[in-house]
Amino acid sequence: MLKIVSVGLTISAVPLLNNITIDCPRGSVTALMGPNGAGKTSLLKVISGEHRASQGRVEINRQSREDWKPAEIAQFMAVLPQSSTLEFAFTSEEVVSLGRTPHATGTVRDAEIITAALARVDASYLAQRSFVQLSGGEKQRVQLARVLAQIWDHCESESECEAPTDGILLLDEPSAAFDLAHQLMLIDIVQQISACGVTVVMVMHDLNLAAKCADQMVFMNCGHCTAVGTVTELLTPELIKKVFSVDAQVMTHPLQGTPMVVV
Amino acid sequence: MKVLNTRLITPRLCGLLLLIALPLVSLLGLMTGPVFIPLADILSMTLSGDSGNSQEKLIIEIIRLPRVVLSLLVGALLAICGALLQGLFRNPLADPALIGVSAGASVGASLVIVFGSMLTANGLLLGLSAISVGAFAGAIITSVIIFRLATGPQGTSVATMLLAGIAISALAGAATNTLSYLADNDMLRRISLWQMGNLQGASWDRVGLCAVTAGFLGLLIPREAGALNAMLLGESEARHLGVNVEWLKRRLIIYSALGVAISVAVAGVIAFVGLMVPHLIRLLVGPNHRALLPLSALAGAILLVAADALARVVIAPAELPVGVVTALLGAPFFLWLLVVQRRRS
């Protein structure tokens, strides 16, 4: 579904990414991890088309990223940025409705999707509130509802046949502002939509949270891809020391059996 | 859960109120002036076609009606262009002066006033005086320069445009001041009066020119409402929502430069309308451009007609420049709205 092939990125003579190759199959969840300035967001921006790769290429659905028109790609790919700078007093409902901009599904269907998306991120009670007055975590939940609304047709298994392409969701530190309950809600959403065929790529800092839902982890450092693999392959004390310069213990979750990083 | 709706009224109600106000204010505009014409006379003139008073008929047909229609069109143009620019710059305090249109127009007009006495003698172009043509040319030239300065290989930077606009406006201001310094007393008066804006020169030719522009922009601008809404989230967010941001910016800049340049050419610099009207409508009904654009146009039209009617009566038989009235009328109302809004939230 999404292939990153030897991608390099240089902006103003500063090399930000170097020879990155990652394969994200349909319905997979990829977590990009690494210290600050490792190039995670830059990589996400190359995938989303905000930066053009200096070397290599990004393939979406076996087509080069460059060959997709913005209006076509917006039909099935949504991007949640790190933070939002919206300063106009839209209601939360209106912000979510902006996610339907690329679609011509009609106001009735859009209204259904908007209500459902707000409910999905536990933000129904915010629908009529002015976006600018929300707290950081509430804003991020409403923005998450907006990107979910954009690819909603790809997130419901029953309508799978209607959508000609599978969805892609790019998340940049989606959980940074969330409280514990909403971090788990995010994991649940990611698992559910990936089960419906949506390919998810997300930048995360919390190793344990990423371990709960990632099929594939990518450790990045200084613009290089240090390691790619499954959660159990990557969450080892040696690799964590190498990438994050932190001494950590890796244990097994008593109930779920997933690796758990303790520092 | 407590539901806080920050909107004062719904767009539908706001539109309805404005649509009721529009003909009423226009009638008021036709009635008022140095010679008061009673409502009954205007109605009988329009309904039966004949009028007992041919002098009143002349005043309405030749002076007041074109002036009211011109005010409607100029007000609508200024307000809708202001709304566009505020959306484009994602700044509710942006106004047409930011893209250098007003400053450029002032230079053009002043140049003609100071050096163009030979030009003004030989006639008009499309009902426009040489001053108007100068203003239009100045407006378009400065906005092209600012647009070029802000456009690089990565596209147009709205932030650079803002800074370039401020710098070019300062430069143009210096040029206008130099011209004012060189001007004699009569020219100086004309320059400063022109900068305050007035609708005295209204004629059917000018109405035609404005109507064509307004019609053209009125068809094109509302199509951008969805994209403008997405733009408020940010340029990259809009791109991810499928908006071709570079082309959108170009279109919006062309539309607003054209709209403001035409209105400046026929009516001089009328401050406040482009800045405050969209802001005011946003306070009332929220920032959704689908409602904001048409409602701003309506409210701008109403405000300018009302302001112009006042301008004609306050110090009758003399006239105040309409730009002074728009500011006097709108600014306190705007402040009141701000205070109300603050108390509510």
- Cβ density class A94-126: b for 16+ within 10 Å, e for less: bbbbbbbbbbeeeeeebeebbbbbbebbebbeb
CB B243 within 8 A of CB B231: yes
Q: How many angstroms separate the CA of residue B338 from the nearest CA in chain A?
A: 14
Beta-carbon separation of A89 and B287 below 8 A = yes
Q: Which residues of A touch B236 (CB under 8 A)?
A: 48, 50, 79, 81
Rounded percentage of chain A residues whose pLDDT exceeds 90? 68
CB A95 within 8 A of CB A144: no
Q: Is A33 helix (H, G, I), strand (E, B) or coil?
A: strand
CA gap B143, B132 in Å, rounded: 17
Q: Which residues of B touch A81 (CB under 8 A)?
A: 234, 236-237
Among the residue ranges A108-112, A242-246, A249-253, B124-128, the one predicted with the least confidence is: B124-128
B215, part of any domain: yes
Query: Which has more confidence, B91 or A40?
Result: A40
User: B284-338: per-residue pLDDT in tens?
Assistant: 899 999 999 999 999 999 999 999 999 888 887 788 888 888 888 777 877 887 7
Beta-carbon separation of B3 and A73 below 8 A = no
CA gap B61, B55 in Å, rounded: 10
Q: Which residue has the tokens 């950590």?
A: A248
Give the other-Cβ count within 10 Å of A185's Cβ.
18
CA gap A88, A113 in Å, rounded: 23
Q: Which residues of B touch A150 (CB under 8 A)?
A: 241
* Average pLDDT for A26-49: 93
Among the residue ranges A99-113, A226-240, B142-156, the one predicted with the least confidence is: B142-156
**Which pTM does this prediction carry?**
0.88
Q: Which residues of A touch B288 (CB under 8 A)?
A: 90, 94
Tell me the CA distances in angstroms from B146 to B83, B133, B177, B208, B253, one per residue in order: 19, 20, 20, 29, 10
B36, part of any domain: no
Q: How many angstroms separate the CA of residue A61 from the nearest CA in chain B?
A: 17
Instruction: Specify the CATH number for the domain of residue B262.
Output: 1.10.3470.10
User: A93-134: per-residue pLDDT in tens?
Assistant: 999 999 999 998 888 999 999 999 999 999 999 999 999 889
Chain B residues contacting A via beta carbons under 8 Å: 1, 3-7, 90, 92, 226-227, 229-230, 232-234, 236-237, 239-244, 282, 286-288, 345
Of residues B1, B90, B242, nearest to A71 (C-beta): B242
Contacts of B319 (CB under 8 A, 6+ apart): B198, B200, B311, B312
Beta-carbon separation of A48 and B240 below 8 A = yes
ipTM of the complex: 0.90
- Interface probe, candidates B6, B240, B290, chain A, greatest A C-beta count within 10 A: B240
Q: How many angstroms separate the CA of residue B96 from the nearest CA in chain A?
A: 19
* Average pLDDT for A223-247: 91
Q: Which residue has the tokens 């969209």?
A: B278
CB B109 within 8 A of CB B197: no
Among the residue ranges A80-94, A100-114, B97-111, B113-127, the one predicted with the least confidence is: B113-127
Rounded percentage of chain B residues whose pLDDT exceeds 70? 92
Q: Give the chain B residue nearest A150 (alpha carbons).
A: B241
* Average pLDDT for A141-166: 79
Of residues B6, B233, B244, nearest to A86 (C-beta): B233
User: A44-70: per-residue pLDDT in tens?
Assistant: 999 998 888 999 999 998 889 888 888
CB B71 within 8 A of CB B262: no
Q: Give the chain A residue nearest B87 (alpha carbons).
A: A88
Domains of chain A: 2-76+151-230 (3.40.50.300)
* Average pLDDT for B54-61: 81
Question: What rounded mean pLDDT belongs to chain B?
Answer: 85
Asked whether residue B84 carries a pLDDT value surpassing 90, the answer given is: yes
Q: Is B284 helix (H, G, I), strand (E, B) or coil?
A: helix
Q: Which residues of B touch A118 (CB under 8 A)?
A: none
CB A139 within 8 A of CB A84: yes
- The domain in which residue B239 lies consists of 67-340
The number of distinct structural domains making up chain B is 1
